[in-house]
Amino acid sequence: MWNTFENKIAWFQMKGGFKMNLLKDTVKSISPIDVHWYSIAQKRLDNLTKPPGSLGRLEEFAKRFVAITGISMPSLDKKVIFTFAGDHGVAEEGVSAYPREVTGQMVLNFLNGGAGINVLARHAGAEVVVVDIGVDHDFNSVDKLISKKIMKGTKNMRRGPAMTRDEAEKCIEAGIELANEYAERGYRIFATGDMGIANTTPSSAIAAVFTGRPVSEVTGRGTGIGDDALRNKIKVIEDALSANRPDPFDPVDVLSKVGGAEIGGIAGLIIGASAKRIPVVIDGFISTAGALIASSLEPKTKDYMFAAHNSVEVGHKAMLDKMGLRPILDLDLRLGEGTGAALAILMIDAGLKIYTEMATFGEAGVSEGIRE
């Protein structure tokens, strides 16, 4: 009943509506991918000096990139990974192995270039943009930090909604604003990352809501908690879902009741990227929770996403399956930050270089094989 954009808008208006026009207008502006571009890309791929399809998924990445951008010979000269940071009130329930103040400390580590994401982004030739969207810390005017702070951490979702509906919308719109800004700067690909102690807890809650699976099937150990803490984490999420009753037909309601600021920012970035026809690489478990919010608001966003990897978090595959996304890598990663996305960008870049730099049979003077 609510599967068209117009019906979803009517539903959201009934539930409280969009308080601003940016989210509504951006979602409405997302176009389906023109399938003609797949044919254009496939024709070139089949004429390169190799047996058809012999470079496997690298060819798939190139073809999808061409179709998403609508450019027959695209380049990948400007890459950016957005690491959204936010704190979570549910951390007080003992669901993480680390204290809440680590979020702010890691933000400073990102800015100083000393984290895993910095190392892998440098390797991939990508810029890292660190976004404070909800950290419970006053950074003041720290150099290079992008401030989009909506709140100083969410509330404890076990006791009530994590945030208001208005705050949830503002988080999404902060991501859209960043997508618009960096699209204007000429960046060719976006990637998502996260930082937030306890953020696997809201991500598991979101996974349970949208996949319909039991909480125990989509909840993992996060930063490495033990068996007792895992059982507690599952109970906390079950209590949060029972207390808040998030509506799976209203993604903003889900985000506000059991989500997080960084998850909303990621959802907004995906929506904004889709509207601008910019490919967006989705990192791990938390980023995929944001992707679920985005794709539930507008299913066409799924066509603009590359799933970077399959995390060891047990709920990640369930979310990817829900969206029909096949991960590029499977390396037992569970760090977040955008690290898996940085590695996946290397694979996408490799596919594009094959597509744009490899000679065709005609250019190389090589005889073509017999095609049936």
Active site (catalytic) residues: 337
Radius of gyration of the chain (CA): 21
Residues 324, 208, 200, 241, CA torsion sign:
positive
State the distance between the two ends of the chain, measured CA to CA, in whole angstroms. Answer: 45
The contacts of residue 318 (CB under 8 Å, 6+ apart) are 207, 211, 213, 217, 218
Nearest to 207 by CA among 95, 289, 310: 289
Cβ–Cβ < 8 Å for 158, 243: yes
Cα gap 169→237, rounded to integer Å: 22
**Residue 155 identity (one-letter amino acid):** K
**Residue 300 identity (one-letter amino acid):** K
Q: State how far the alpha carbon of 37 is from the alpha carbons of 44, 69, 73, 180, 181, in Å.
A: 11, 9, 11, 24, 26
Cα gap 41→52, rounded to integer Å: 13
Cα gap 212→305, rounded to integer Å: 22
Helix axis angle, 200-211 to 261-275, nearest 10°: 60
Cα gap 278→68, rounded to integer Å: 7
